């Protein structure tokens, strides 16, 4: 409350403002992607239940902010009293009681302000934690394709920026709205109490504040959307440039990338300057109106004082109440911006929450327990949701423990789709998939996946240590078991030689390791997991012949005694004695078919 002659309390304003500021600087979504505003009611209906358990904190925040505002009202009254009873009369003896009372009020207001800020922030942060957890947990129930089809930055913005925008409406936003309305009532009431007629005149200027707020809010929203868009683009350029650094340097495109970043940086600068221009203009515009108000009050007040109908203290207190009232009215105007941001954010978050998992556990689903690992596909047909053309039609084969079944075929034939069906990211449209003779649809997905280990084409790693990445196969596994798995995967000697051994960080997505090392760590992870069914989705992709041979050795150890489905179109990696199911896509709708269904004995043309 900058123009107040006293210190404004603004209990709940500061944390929300600082968070909004930091959000502006964070990885954000483009303005073009902002969803159309939805009703506040829908936002509250969806997210108000998440405030359960936190409402007491928010209520305490409101009470403390109201106490602080009341103290301020009383302090201004004392200020007027001191002016009239001490300064005007020069009666110094009358100074001490109101002075100490003022000090007491300041202490109570300070404590209430601190408590209110802290408690509201606590409620707000817990709400954020809870909501983010809920959305993330829901995301984890969706098939990986949901995330893969979207821009990572966009999903991250939903989990961070949009969740914060929702909190600023449903959590601390409610506290702010209630306390701002209470402040308006208190300060306006106190002004009316001193001189209702003078108050009525100055209240007539309140619409001017609202008009200015509205005019600026519209422009500010446009500038903020441009800034968010620009920020998103700049972050994408940075992300791409850094992720593709080897390509950039190898092709000598550093200068181009720097220029691209500079160009986007300039756009961001312009968008920020537009915001700064508006913010800079808004303050003086409001100040002009405030000054007009004060001059009107002072002029009218001087006249009233001269006529003996108002004291100097009364006039100053009146002016101080108005100086507190106008910013509170402005805050009410700003709430409209919070609401529209939250509505857009909530629309984007609700879109995630409304997306249903393609596969869920049946009510009667039972745990699979540890299976032997016998897999059977029985006349399985499948088309991806929304696609007319089936990827698989009438696919049948069986695989027993110790078998290696190669799923072969050209690119796009549906090899990886077989693995996705096995892990139940999708269910077949027709036919059944059996695990030890039990239809997988009757098993819980968690227990089913416990029985299957998949090694992906691209080795997926987290940015922790080597040990963390191996133990991901069985959380909590002791170090000696991790080491045994690493030995079996042929990676122990290499890990031992690393600067921090098993505690050596592997870098972002394991980038500090070679492809072969990453793949062998993934094999160690699979060994530790010890699941009876193994799916190898082209695990040799990108490895040269020598490295592939190195990886193949531990892989064979891993395959021993397990049911292995090996997805590959490279015959060199097919082990001897493997059976092959060959898939072949036939272009055109509904015309895909299986060229050879079933199994056939074959010898690998190359030794692996
Ligand atoms: N999530 C999806 N939604 C829609 N169609 C998909 C999806 N995933 C894959 N497809 C399509 O299904 C077909 C089979 O894809 P799949 O990945 O199973 O082939 P693949 O044989 O493993 O290919 P590659 O050898 O190139 O990895 C392809 O035409 C592909 O475009």
Two structure tokens written together for 595: 């060229």
Which is more confident, 221 or 528? 528
Q: Measure 148 CA to ligand 1 centroid, in angstroms.
A: 13
- Ligand 1 neighbourhood includes 391 CB (under 6 angstroms): yes
- Ligand 1 neighbourhood includes 542 CB (under 6 angstroms): no
Report CA 305 to chain centroid distance, whole Å.
Answer: 59
| Segment 113-140, tens digit of pLDDT | 999 999 999 999 999 999 999 999 998 8
What are phi and psi for residue 378, nearest 5 degrees?
-120, 105
pLDDT at 165 over 90: no
Q: Quickly state the pLDDT bin for 39 (edges 50, 70, 90).
A: low
- For CATH 3.40.50.300, the residue range(s) in the chain are 375-596
CATH class (in words) of the domain with range 375-596: alpha beta
Q: State which of 411, 417, 542, 571 you would mutate to test the pocket of ligand 1, scoring each by most atoms of that ligand within 8 A of its C-beta.
A: 417
Q: Quickly state the pLDDT bin for 527 (edges 50, 70, 90).
A: confident
- Please tell me the number of Cα atoms within 13 Å of 125 on its side-chain side: 8
User: Would strands 392-399 and 375-382 be described as parallel, antiparallel, or unpaired?
Assistant: antiparallel
- For CATH 1.20.1560.10, the residue range(s) in the chain are 13-354
Two structure tokens written together for 436: 């030890």
Q: Measure 59 CA to ligand 1 centroid, in angstroms.
A: 53
Nearest to 569 by CA among 411, 334, 405, 378: 411
| Average per-residue pLDDT for the chain | 80
Q: Quickly state the pLDDT bin for 85 (edges 50, 70, 90).
A: confident
- State how far the alpha carbon of 428 is from the alpha carbons of 24, 142, 373, 419, 423, in Å: 45, 17, 19, 12, 12
Q: What's the rounded mean pLDDT across residues 321-336?
A: 79
| Segment 562-596, tens digit of pLDDT | 999 998 877 777 777 888 888 876 455 544 344 44
- Ligand 1 neighbourhood includes 420 CB (under 6 angstroms): no
Atom 2 (ligand 1) nearest CA = 384
- Ligand 1 neighbourhood includes 418 CB (under 6 angstroms): no
Atom 28 (ligand 1) nearest CA = 412
Which is more confident, 542 or 22? 542
Report the atom number in ligand 1 closest to the C-alpha of 143: 1
Report the atom number in ligand 1 closest to the C-alpha of 583: 21
Report CA 28 to chain centroid distance, whole Å.
Answer: 10
Q: Measure 572 CA to ligand 1 centroid, in angstroms.
A: 23
Q: Measure 391 CA to ligand 1 centroid, in angstroms.
A: 8
Atom 5 (ligand 1) nearest CA = 384
| Segment 261-277, tens digit of pLDDT | 999 999 989 988 988 89
Which CATH number, 1.10.10.10, 3.40.190.10, 3.20.20.70, 1.20.1560.10, labels domain 13-354?
A: 1.20.1560.10
Atom 13 (ligand 1) nearest CA = 412
pLDDT at 560 over 50: yes
pLDDT at 141: 87
pLDDT at 186: 92
pLDDT at 606 over 50: no
pLDDT at 218 over 90: no
Atom 4 (ligand 1) nearest CA = 384
Atom 30 (ligand 1) nearest CA = 412
Ranges 119-123, 145-149, 483-487, 510-514, most confident: 119-123
Two structure tokens written together for 465: 């240590």
What are phi and psi for residue 382, nearest 5 degrees?
-155, 135
- Ligand 1 neighbourhood includes 387 CB (under 6 angstroms): yes
| Segment 439-467, tens digit of pLDDT | 999 999 889 998 999 888 777 777 788 89
Report the atom number in ligand 1 closest to the C-alpha of 148: 1
């Amino acid at each position: 409350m900058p123009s107040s002659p006293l210190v404004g309390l603004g209990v709940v304003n500061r944390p929300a403002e600082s968070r909004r500021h930091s959000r502006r600087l964070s990885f954000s979504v483009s303005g073009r992607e902002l969803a159309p505003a939805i009703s506040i009611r829908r936002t509250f209906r969806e997210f108000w239940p998440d405030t359960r358990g936190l409402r007491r904190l928010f209520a305490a925040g409101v009470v403390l902010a109201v106490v602080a505002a009341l103290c301020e009202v009383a302090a201004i009254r004392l200020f007027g009293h001191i002016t009239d009873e001490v300064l005007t009369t020069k009666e110094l003896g009358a100074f001490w009681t109101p002075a100490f009372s003022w000090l007491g009020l300041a202490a109570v207001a300070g404590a209430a302000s601190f408590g209110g800020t802290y408690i509201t922030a606590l409620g707000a942060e817990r709400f954020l934690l809870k909501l983010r957890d809920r959305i993330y947990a829901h995301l984890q129930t969706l098939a990986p394709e949901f995330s893969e089809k979207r821009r990572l930055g966009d999903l991250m913005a939903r989990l961070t920026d949009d969740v914060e925008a929702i909190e600023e409406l449903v959590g601390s936003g409610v506290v702010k709205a209630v306390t701002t309305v209470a402040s308006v009532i208190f300060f306006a009431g106190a002004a009316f109490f001193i001189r209702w007629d003078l108050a009525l005149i100055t209240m007539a200027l309140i619409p001017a504040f609202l008009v200015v707020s509205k005019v600026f809010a519209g422009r500010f929203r446009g500038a903020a959307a441009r800034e968010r868009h620009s920020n998103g683009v700049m972050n994408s350029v940075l992300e791409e440039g850094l992720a593709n650094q080897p390509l950039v340097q190898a092709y000598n495109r550093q200068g181009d990338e720097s220029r691209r970043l500079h160009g986007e940086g300039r756009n961001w600068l312009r968008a920020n300057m537009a915001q700064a221009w508006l913010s800079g203009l808004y303050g003086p515009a409001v100040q002009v109106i405030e000054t007009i108000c004060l001059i009107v009050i002072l002029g009218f007040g001087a006249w009233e004082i001269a006529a003996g109908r108002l004291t100097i203290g009364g006039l100053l207190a009146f002016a101080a109440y108005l100086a507190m009232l106008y910013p509170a009215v402005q805050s009410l105007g700003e709430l409209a911006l919070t609401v529209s941001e939250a509505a857009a954010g909530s629309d984007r978050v609700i879109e995630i929450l409304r997306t249903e998992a393609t596969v869920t556990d049946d009510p009667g689903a039972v745990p699979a327990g540890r299976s032997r690992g016998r897999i059977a596909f029985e006349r399985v047909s499948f088309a991806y949701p929304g696609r007319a053309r089936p990827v698989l039609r009438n696919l049948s084969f069986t695989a027993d423990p110790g078998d290696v079944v190669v799923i072969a075929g050209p690119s796009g034939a549906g090899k990886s789709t077989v693995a996705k069906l096995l892990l139940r990211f999708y269910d077949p449209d027709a036919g059944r998939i059996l695990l030890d003779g039990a239809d997988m649809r009757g098993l819980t997905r968690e227990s089913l996946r416990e029985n299957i280990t998949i090694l992906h084409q691209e080795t997926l790693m987290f940015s922790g240590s080597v040990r963390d990445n191996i133990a991901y196969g069985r959380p909590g596994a002791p170090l000696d078991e991790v080491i045994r798995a690493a030995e079996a995967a042929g990676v122990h000697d290499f890990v031992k030689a690393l600067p921090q051994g098993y505690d050596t960080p592997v870098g972002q997505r394991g980038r500090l390791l070679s492809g072969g090392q990453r793949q062998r760590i993934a094999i160690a992870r699979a060994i530790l997991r010890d699941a009876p069914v193994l799916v190898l989705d082209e695990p040799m992709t990108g490895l040269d012949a020598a490295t592939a041979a190195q990886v193949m050795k531990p892989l064979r150890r891993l395959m021993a005694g397990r049911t292995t489905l090996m997805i590959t179109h490279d015959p060199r990696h097919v082990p001897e004695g493997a059976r092959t199911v060959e898939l072949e896509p036939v272009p055109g709708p509904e015309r895909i078919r299986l060229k050879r269904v079933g199994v056939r004995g074959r010898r690998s043309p190359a030794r692996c």
